[in-house]
Each structure stands twice: as C-alpha cells, then as structure tokens.
Amino acid sequence: MDKMAVERLSGVKAIFLEKMILVGGCCLAFGAAFANISVVLRTGISVSHLTGDVSRLSMDLSHISPKVMVEACRIGAAALAFFLGAFLSGFLIHHPTLDFARPYGRTVIGIGVIFICSALMIERFPLSGIALAAFGCGIQNALASKYKGIILRTTHLTGLMTDFGVAMGMKIRGYDVPNRNYVVPALLVLSFFLGGVISGVVYFFGKIDTIFLVGCGYFIAGILWSIGKHLWFPEIIREMTDEN
C-alpha cells in the first residue's frame, strides 16, 4: 500500500475515532441523567448535580423539622460523596486533555459497579445508596477533559448550556466558530435530556430497577471501550494522544 493510501486510511480511522468519542460522551451524559432521575424518583435527591438540592436545603433550614433533618443528611451525604468521587478521579485518572492512555474503560466499569451496589442498598439503606450513586457521578464528572478545545462535560447541564450559548452567540455575531463548538454541547444536552425522559418512562412503566439497569449499562460500556481501545486502531489512538 502506497504512502498516500496509508495516510487516507489513517485519516478515515481518525475521523471514525472522533465520532466514537462524541458517541461516548453522549452515552455518558445519557447515563448520568438516567442514573440521576432514577435516584430522584426513589429518594427525591439528585446525585449528578447539587445546586438545586443545596439551594432547597438552605431554604428548608429556615424551619427545622425532623423531615428537614433527614433530607439534610441525605443532601449532605450526596455532596460529600460527590466531592470524594471527584477527588479520587482527579487524583488517579483526570488529565487536562483527553488522554487515551488513561483507564477510562476500567473507570466506567467501576462506576457501573458503584451504581449496581447503590441499587442493592438504596431500599434498605437509602443514605448509603444515595452516597454511592453520588460518588459514581462525582467520578464521572471529574473525567471532563478538553478535546480540541471543547470541554466534555457529562453529568449536568449548566456548563453545557453555557458553552452552547456562547458558541452560538459568537457564531451569529460573525466570529469564525468551528461547528463542533456548538454541535458537541448541543448533542450532549440532548443526550442528557433523553436520558432523564427514558429513565422516567422505564421507572413508571417498565417495573424495572432503573439504578441497577444503568449500572449494568455502564459496566458493559466500560468493557466494550476497554476491548476496543486495545483491538481497534491502537496506532491512531497513540497518534491522537500525542496530539493532545
């Protein structure tokens, strides 16, 4: 095979890998929303983001009651666990840019195991179940890395909506903004939204433990990524890692 043919083949593989990265980010956003809505429907506490719950807690603390104290403990456990998950991810895994040498597959498998454990505990020990789910989301959120200038956020919408709005505003103003700067956050927002909708539908009509289901989904996705990383296009992955 001549040099030009090799370069064309490498280019096709690189484009395919970029698409797979976007698909992976969308799947993580979908999974985070699915997990969050699953826990919210079971306990009333969100685990993929904390702004709303902490705001609600600050409002509720103006009139202390036993119910408020139970909710405060659950929100506090979720907040602490989310922080610890982010801390662990930052200490062991995180990299400023997307680095395929990092054990993303094993991390996603681990998040799946954490969600499965949460599902097994949340009925009898809701505080522990909430904390485990928030811990998993904290790990995932801290995986956010830059890829070609775009921050891949996957557990909540605030940053995504900001990125999407800024990119669209600059584009309409006439700045030369790459399409990916607004297409990527838009797709991640859509994936997050769909994850929440489908989680609610499955919960109400499927009669399935949705937390356990999303845990299994993460576990399988992590295995598939780990296999693909070592069997599909390892040389292209090394090239893209060097570029980033």
User: Which residues of the chain are under the pLDDT cut of 70?
Assistant: 1-14, 16, 94-101, 144-150, 232-244
pLDDT, residue 100, reads 67
pLDDT, residue 13, reads 61
Confirm if 13 and 1 have CB atoms less than 8 A apart.
Answer: no
pLDDT, residue 38, reads 94
Confirm if 51 and 158 have CB atoms less than 8 A apart.
Answer: yes
Calculate ∠ Cα 215-82-92, nearest 5°.
85
pLDDT, residue 167, reads 86
pLDDT, residue 3, reads 47
**Tokens matching residue 136:** 């998993």
The pTM assigned to this predicted structure is 0.85
